[in-house]
Amino acid sequence: MNEQSSVHLQAPGSVPPTHGQPAEPQRPVVRWYQRKWFVVLMLLFCFPVGLVLLWTSPVTRLSGRIVWTTVIALVLLMQLGGGRDEQQGTTTETQPTSAAVAPASDTRETTGQQPVTASEPAASAASAEPSASSRPTEPAAPPASPAPKVADEFNLKVTDQSTGTVYKGKVVSNVGFAVLDVDTAKSVGSDFFVEEAAGGAKFVLVTVYVTNKQKEAFTLDTSFFTLVVDGTEYEYSIEAANAMELSDQTESLFLKQLNPGLSVVATIPFEVPGSLNLDRAELQFRAGLFGRAERVPLSPVTE
């Protein structure tokens, strides 16, 4: 009886399966940055990178990916929810204006005195000279009423202690902001961290001042600022902002916690067309992801 022989081709370096046992499946290669401990660290301290690693790592399960993504989304919504619109932070700024335009007759009414009107002296003069009324005269034009004072739309003042310059800004949701300086450049950063503007583009560098007038910590972020020119909105350049932060040219505003009564000064880069006219440009600030927005002129407003 002839015995049949078979030849099994085997890849070099592989281990032949044991007789009667199925071959073990080949495990995927897990790099060091895909391990669970590194993914968790990135989720806690640099969540954008952590989310990418969470969904690309072969050692994480689908249920864990969904849970971590949901938790991070809820935390961001709670932190970036914006401040409450409290009127107490702005009443102190507008009180001097309302007191300046209050009529003097109000004080007499509160003390029980009869207010004196402008028609009383005219009536007494007419009774003293009755013959003057018989002469034909042209009707006198009514006296021009004084122009009402326009309330200053800027309710925030910031003083530069080194130069004594007073800058004006606005308060929205009890968070104040003002433009301190504006400059343009073709590149930002230094040494190994340099970012060049695209061909035909330029960087608009806006130095801003932000102060927290709320009664709780406020989460600030660079994305709350927008450059508006003739109705067109320009977002900040992430690459240019990273190059400036790594070169110590500005302070980072990425999810910065600003406690009550504290302030911060930072420079925000916007990449715009090189021919863009900035004469009518405005800087828009939104107090939180869903907060109210206000605008100020891009050029610094001073007293």
Looking at the DSSP bridge assignments, the partners of residue 170 are: 177
In whole angstroms, give the CA distance from residue 225 to residue 267: 11
The structural domains of the chain, ordered by start, are 32-79 (no CATH), 156-302 (2.60.40.1240)
Is it the case that residue 28 has pLDDT exceeding 60?
yes
| Residue 236 · residue 243 · CB < 8 Å | no
Q: Give the pTM.
A: 0.53
Is it the case that residue 207 has pLDDT exceeding 90?
yes
Question: What pLDDT, on a 0 to 100 scale, did the predictor assign at position 186?
Answer: 95
Nearest to 246 by CA among 184, 192, 208: 192
In whole angstroms, give the CA distance from residue 260 to residue 53: 35
Nearest to 219 by CA among 289, 143, 284, 268: 289
pLDDT band of residue 78 (cuts 50, 70, 90) is confident
Question: What pLDDT, on a 0 to 100 scale, did the predictor assign at position 48?
Answer: 72
Nearest to 258 by CA among 148, 171, 175: 175
In whole angstroms, give the CA distance from residue 279 to residue 299: 8
Percent residues over pLDDT 90 in the chain: 45
51 vs 182 pLDDT, higher one = 182
